[in-house]
Amino acid sequence: MLAALLTGMVLGAAAMNLFCGHRLDELYLAREELRVKLYETTERLKKLEAQDRRQAPVISDIEIAFAAAEHEPLVELEIKAAVLELTRDLIGTEVGKVQHQLVLHLLDQRLLKVGNKHYRLRLQTMVIAPHTLFVLHYALEPARLEDEP
């Protein structure tokens, strides 16, 4: 009985090797191909990251903040939209190539109309970096105040 069991196990293993051996070889080859592709992809990623570090940083985001003294949410929202419209061409520009004086003259002492009122902007802080920040003060321009109907 034991001899029949052992003979059955040997014949079963031989039959399984015949039927599944080809598939195991295919899986082994596929695994090795994937290992080579992973190595190539990892090396390519390292080169791209090194190249990205060597390139000059560009402005990717512009943030507008206001001084703590003022707080009129609707006015700030309108001013923020207007300033973002004025500075939208800065996005994608290399940080080192931004002409700071032009940006300063673009925003500092600028007069913006919000509703029926005019507001004078004063640029307090300007940080030119990939995440650019402008800190602004705004004040109602009394000479330009128009009567509301």
Per-residue model confidence as pLDDT tens digits over 14-30: 888 888 888 888 898 99
Q: Per residue in 10-22, is it b (16+ CB within 10 Å) or e — as a string?
A: eeeeeeeeeeeee
pLDDT at 48 over 50: yes
Secondary structure of residue 124 in the 3-state scheme: strand
Mean confidence (pLDDT) of the chain: 86
Residue with tokens 């802080």: 125
Mean pLDDT of all residues in 117-138 = 92
Question: Cα dihedral angle (129, 81, 124, 128), rounded to 10 degrees?
Answer: 10
Residue 149 pLDDT: 44
pLDDT band at 92 (very low <50, low <70, confident <90, very high): confident
Q: In what order do the strands lie in the sheet with 117-127?
A: 61-66, 131-140, 117-127, 111-114
User: What is the phi-psi region of residue 115: left when phi exceeds 0, alpha when psi lies from -120 to 50, beta otherwise?
Assistant: left
Distance from C-alpha of 95 to C-alpha of 128, rounded to nearest angstrom: 7
Distance from C-alpha of 115 to C-alpha of 75, rounded to nearest angstrom: 9
Helix axis angle, 73-87 relative to 100-107, nearest 10°?
A: 140
Question: pTM (2 decimals)?
Answer: 0.61
Residue 88 pLDDT: 87
Angle at 17 between CA 14 and CA 20, to 5 degrees: 145
